[in-house]
């Protein structure tokens, strides 16, 4: 499961960037996305948001950060699909 996610995250990210390449707010989206990602990861890794009770080695934080990063990438991919569909719809209307 973990190796699939490790391969899937960069692939989804690259496809997301490719899908929004023609969007005029692409750079803003990428900057806000990266800032949100770093803020989320720092909160997950440095605070006790995830309280599992007895976690001697602190693996729960790392697992939460790992899957949080994957969910963040998947959500950004879904948003990119929506933006791409919107751009295609606008281009079809402009061609008429």
Domain ranges of the chain: 28-91
User: Using one digit for the tens of pLDDT, what is the confidence trace for 1-58?
Assistant: 678 878 888 999 999 999 999 899 999 999 999 999 999 999 988 888 777 778 788 7
Give the residue from 63, 47, 13 showing the smallest Cα distance to 33. 13
CA distances from 65 to 10, 42, 43, 96 (A): 16, 9, 9, 47
Secondary structure letter of residue 33 according to DSSP: H
Cβ(49)–Cβ(43) under 8 Å?
A: yes
């Amino acid at each position: 499961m973990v190796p699939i996610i490790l391969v899937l995250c960069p692939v989804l990210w690259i496809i997301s960037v490719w899908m929004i390449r023609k969007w005029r707010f692409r750079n803003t989206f990428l900057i806000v996305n990266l800032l949100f990602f770093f803020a989320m990861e720092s909160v997950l890794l440095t605070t006790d948001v995830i309280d599992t009770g007895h976690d001697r080695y602190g693996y729960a934080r790392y697992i939460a950060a790992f899957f949080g990063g994957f969910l963040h990438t998947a959500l950004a991919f879904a948003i990119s699909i929506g933006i791409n569909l919107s751009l295609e719809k606008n281009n079809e209307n402009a061609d008429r």
